[in-house]
A and B are shown apart, each in its own frame.
Chain A
Amino acid sequence: MRVVGVEHDRGEFAEFYAAARDDCLRVVVISVSDRQLAEDLVAEAFTRAWMSWRKVRRLAEPRGWVVRVALNAHVSWWRRRRREVALGSHDSVAAAGQDPVLDSSLVAALRRLPVRQRQVIALRLLLDLDTATTAEMLGISGGTVASHLHRGLAALRRELPSRNDQEVIR
C-alpha cells in the first residue's frame, strides 16, 4: 500500500510539474534575467516541492510556492556567490545570460526591488494570484501583501510611459 501511495504522489507531482514548470520558469526568468540561472532555481524549487509534496499539494496554489522558493533560492545563490567571488559583480554575472526580451527598463526596475516586493509582484501580477492566496504563499498577512504591492508599484510606475509619471501614489 505504501508503494502505491508513493507512486500516486509521484504521478500527481509529475502532472503538476508538467503543467506548472514553464509558467514558473518564465516568471523567474523575468525576475532574474538569466535563463540558465532561472532554470536552476526553478529546478531547485521543484525539487523542494517534491520533497515536501504532501504539504505543498494541499496549498491553494502550489505554483506560487514554487516561485517563492525559487526567488528565495536566488537570494541564497547570490549570498553564496558573494562569498565565493570576492570581487564579483552580481550585475555582471546576471548580464552574461541576459535575454533581449528582458532588456526593458520595467524589468530592470523589477529586478532592483527588494525580494519580498518582487515576490509579491511575481505572484500577484505574473501568476495572477489574488491577495489572499499570495498572502498564504508568502506566509504574511493580506495587508502586508497590499503594502508590498503598493511600494513595488510605486517604484515600477516610474518606468511606465505616462503623462502622470510624477504623480505620487497615496
Chain B
Amino acid sequence: MNDDSTLSAVRNRLTEVRDALGDVQMSIPVSEIVAKGRRRRTGRVLAAAAACAAVAVGIAVPLAAGIGSQPAAARTVIRLASHTFRMPAGYRLAAATSSCHAFAVYMVPSSGVPLHAKGVFQNPPYETEMKAAASASGGCILLALAPRYTPTAAIPDPEALTGAHPVHVGRYRGLISHTSVFLTGIDRRAAEHGIRPGWSRLTQLFVRLPAGGGQMRDLVIGASQLSDAALIRIAAHGLSSGRVARG
C-alpha cells in the first residue's frame, strides 16, 4: 500500500466516522461566544500579570532603595531571548524553588494569545521568555517578552491592556496600566508557596522595543506595590545600563 492509497483509505475511514457523528452539534449560541470574547478582550492579561500577582502573597518590593546604590557590574543581568535587562541592585534571578519563580510558572498561560505577525497565529513562547528576579528582602520583579507585532495607527500596541497610559521609559516609549486579576484554581504547589485565591491589584509596564522589520515587541515588567514612577525608573535603568541587544 503506497502513500496515495493509504491516504485514500484513511480519509475514507475518517470520513465515515465524521459522518456518523451527524448528531454532534454545538449547543453554544454565537451570542455567548461574542460576549465571552468581549469580556476577555477588555480584561486580557498578559503573562506578565504574574509579576503583579506578588500582591497575593503580600510581597513588598523595596524599590528606590536599591537603584544606583551599587556598581552596575554587581547587578544581575537577565536575558530574555536576545534582550538584556539589568536588575536593580540586590535582585538576583529567582531560584526554581522560590515563591517568586513559582508565580511565573504557575501563572503563565499555556495557550497564550496569537502572534500578530505575518497573518500567522502561533502560541507565544512565554514559558521560555519569562523570568523572575527576587531580592533578599523579599521583593519580586518578573519580566516577559510579549509576541512580536506590527503596530498600526489604529492599534499601536495590541499587547497593552485597555486603558493603559503612555509613558517614556528612558529612550523608549511604553504604556503603563493597573488592573486586577482574580487568582483561582490554586493548586497544591502554588499553595505551598503562599499563593492564595482572590483579587490582586496589579501594575504592568509595557516597554515597546524595536524588533526589526517594522515590528515591535513589548518587554512587560511587573511588580506589586510600586508607584508608576518607581516601576518606570527600574525599567529605564535596566534597559539603559543593560543596553538592549537584539540578536
Taking beta carbons and an 8 Å cutoff, which residues of A are in contact with B?
Answer: 10, 13-14, 17-18, 21-22, 25-27, 29-30, 35, 39, 42-44, 46-48, 50-52, 55-56, 58-59, 65, 69, 72-73, 75-76, 79-80, 83-84, 86, 99, 101-102, 104, 106-107, 110, 121, 125-126, 136, 139, 149-150, 153-154, 156-157, 160, 162, 164-165, 167, 169
Contact A59 B10 (CB under 8 A): no
Can you name the residue of chain A whose Cβ is closest to the Cβ of B106?
A83
The 3 A-B pairs of least Cβ separation, nearest first, read A76-B110, A76-B111, A139-B120
Q: Is B17 an interface residue (CB 8 A)?
A: yes
Q: Is B69 an interface residue (CB 8 A)?
A: no
How many B residues touch A, CB cutoff 8 Å? 44
Option from A50, A52, A73 in Cβ contact (under 8 Å) with B33: A50
Complex contacts, B228 vs chain A, CB 8 Å: none
Q: Is B27 an interface residue (CB 8 A)?
A: yes
- Contacts A13-B34, A86-B188, A169-B6 known; A101 to B20 CB distance under 8 Å? yes
Contact B17 A107 (CB under 8 A): yes
Complex contacts, B121 vs chain A, CB 8 Å: 52, 55-56, 65, 69, 139
Contact A29 B10 (CB under 8 A): no
- Contacts A47-B36, A50-B37 known; A30 to B21 CB distance under 8 Å? yes
* Whole-angstrom CA separation of A35 from B41 in the bound complex: 27
Can you name the residue of chain A whose Cβ is closest to the Cβ of B36?
A47
* Whole-angstrom CA separation of A76 from B11 in the bound complex: 27
Complex contacts, A139 vs chain B, CB 8 Å: 118, 120-122
Q: Is B114 an interface residue (CB 8 A)?
A: yes
* Whole-angstrom CA separation of A46 from B28 in the bound complex: 11
Can you name the residue of chain A whose Cβ is closest to the Cβ of B44?
A51
Q: Is B1 an interface residue (CB 8 A)?
A: yes
Please give the distance in Å from A39's CB to the nearest CB on chain B.
6
Contact A48 B114 (CB under 8 A): yes
* Whole-angstrom CA separation of A30 from B18 in the bound complex: 7
Complex contacts, A106 vs chain B, CB 8 Å: 10, 13-14, 17
Q: Is B7 an interface residue (CB 8 A)?
A: yes
* Whole-angstrom CA separation of A79 from B119 in the bound complex: 27
Contact B123 A160 (CB under 8 A): no
* Whole-angstrom CA separation of A30 from B13 in the bound complex: 12
- Between B13, B114, B121, B185, the greatest number of chain A beta carbons within 10 A of the residue's beta carbon is seen for B121
Can you name the residue of chain B whose Cβ is closest to the Cβ of A55?
B119
Complex contacts, A107 vs chain B, CB 8 Å: 14, 17
Q: Is B2 an interface residue (CB 8 A)?
A: yes
Can you name the residue of chain B whose Cβ is closest to the Cβ of A38?
B24
Contact B11 A125 (CB under 8 A): yes
* Whole-angstrom CA separation of A35 from B24 in the bound complex: 8
Q: List 28 A-B contacts (CB under 8 A).
A: A14-B34, A18-B30, A21-B26, A26-B24, A29-B21, A47-B40, A50-B33, A50-B34, A52-B121, A58-B119, A76-B109, A101-B17, A102-B17, A102-B21, A104-B17, A106-B13, A107-B14, A125-B7, A125-B11, A126-B14, A139-B118, A149-B7, A156-B6, A157-B6, A157-B10, A160-B9, A162-B9, A169-B2
